[in-house]
Structure 1
């Protein structure tokens, strides 16, 4: 039986949260060390110069799907639902109407046969949603594309090492924001032991995203202030140059006049 894991909603279904957390505490140290080592390898991974983000994504994860669309249009409350048609993103062509999908009733249980069938259909696959603005940014800035790829790969690697039980085969659906940060994600697994992140892990992820957003806003404000200062400085230089030019012109005219009078 499969259980989907999203960036907001976790359904365990079998076993208590207490037992799951106890197991995690036992395995935590080893998993974190393993994740750190793998993350180091990810950071050192090299890609061909000028390689697009799509090429890096599909080179690292052969067969992975890549969609340029604004996933931020999907509300978190909709994204988290068990009946959200996330399987539509695991195909080459996606109708953008999925961005406006709305539930028709109460959310079905994760153990329901229809939900399980849909989740099983994409087991082991990966798909990423890239906003149009981010795609344009990365086309013009290959280094940005590399940083985004490193961030995504590190997330998958670290999450797999720390939050996925042995034997689980997971599908990954990741939605990026316009700055290349992970806005939302869904992890659906099958086989092995039922697993999911703790509330503390979820709070940490949300806190990190909030901190990154705050830093981006701070940098944007600093850039705006810096741009304003540069503009004011340029205007001041132009004004001084104009005054200096006028003074030189007046002095020259006065000099010529004095010569004529002599």
Structure 2
């Protein structure tokens, strides 16, 4: 006898379980389970918005709509940038124009550690209005972006020592790419880190920073490439138009129309 969840009822069940955070899983349902529901009953899952998928996968996670991808990478990476503001129900858009007021503090500074501690266990995502509109009209795009974000978070969290409490904020650009991200962790180590653990932590932070910089560089190169391609297309169109115009004028002159 087959006790598998199949057919229309199965699709509805899995989609509902995704929405309700599947009893017994503290971290929410993985996107793979959403894909299973999608394969079983397309209509039940495609009706979920990106916000629904995000908050079902990460219960209690914050969702914001603004163009935070425009925040300069140099500002975003500073230890005094107010990342903690994204871990609240509302974020003032003045954060988009944040400027440092002095020298960058060290990671070990009490003010930095206090702000990190206030975000432990929380997650947030920031979606540009243009991307949100695209995903409303294209459920497949929303699912692709969700899978990408989940994979990024899982890989980032997997680098932590066991027992650490993880938090992160992810910022998307208008194409659904990850423009900025900031992850932190704490707790789970009452006696404090050993020198070796501290060195490992610092090395991991340096590696993460390098990956973020490389990701930002690739995004910038991709955007530049798109602009150049658009410019070349415009130039080709202009040249083609001018050629056609010249041919037309020559034809009219040959026919004696423009004499």
The answer (yes or no) to whether the contact 1:64–1:126 under 8 Å persists in 2 is: yes
Q: CA RMSD in A?
A: 3.3
1:28-47 to 2 correspondences below 5 Å: 42-43=31-32, 45-46=34-35
The answer (yes or no) to whether the contact 2:168–2:183 under 8 Å persists in 1 is: yes
Instruction: State how far apart, in whole Å, the 1-side matches of 2:170 and 2:85 are.
Output: 13
- In structure 1, the gaps of 5 or more residues are 1-40, 237-262
- In structure 2, the gaps of 5 or more residues are 1-29, 39-44, 245-259
Find the partner of 2:53 among 56, 77, 83.
56
Indicate the larger mover: 218-227 or 193-202. Answer: 218-227
Q: Output the TM-score relative to the length of structure 2.
A: 0.63
1:1-262 to 2 correspondences below 5 Å: 42-43=31-32, 45-46=34-35, 48-161=45-158, 163-192=159-188, 194=198, 195=201, 197=204, 203=210, 206-207=213-214, 210=217
The answer (yes or no) to whether the contact 1:73–1:100 under 8 Å persists in 2 is: no
Following TM superposition, the consecutive aligned residue runs of length 4 or more in structure 1 with deviations greater than 3 angstroms are 41-45, 198-229
Q: In the TM superposition, what is the alpha-carbon distance from 1:107 to its structure 2 partner?
A: 1.2
Q: Output the TM-score relative to the length of structure 1.
A: 0.62
Q: In the TM superposition, what is the alpha-carbon distance from 1:200 to its structure 2 partner?
A: 5.8
Q: In structure 2, do the counterparts of structure 1 residues 79 and 202 end up closer, same or farther at CA, with 3 Å as the change threshold?
A: closer
Q: Which has the larger radius of gyration?
A: 1
The answer (yes or no) to whether the contact 1:67–1:130 under 8 Å persists in 2 is: yes
Aligned length in residues: 197
Describe the SS at the equivalent of 2:46.
coil
Higher relative contact order by CA 8 Å / sep ≥ 6: 1 or 2?
1
Instruction: State how far apart, in whole Å, the 2-side matches of 1:44 and 1:206 are.
Output: 32
Q: In structure 2, do the counterparts of structure 1 residues 130 and 203 end up closer, same or farther at CA, with 3 Å as the change threshold?
A: same
1:83-109 deviation line (CA, Å, top 9, x unaligned): 111111101111111111111111122
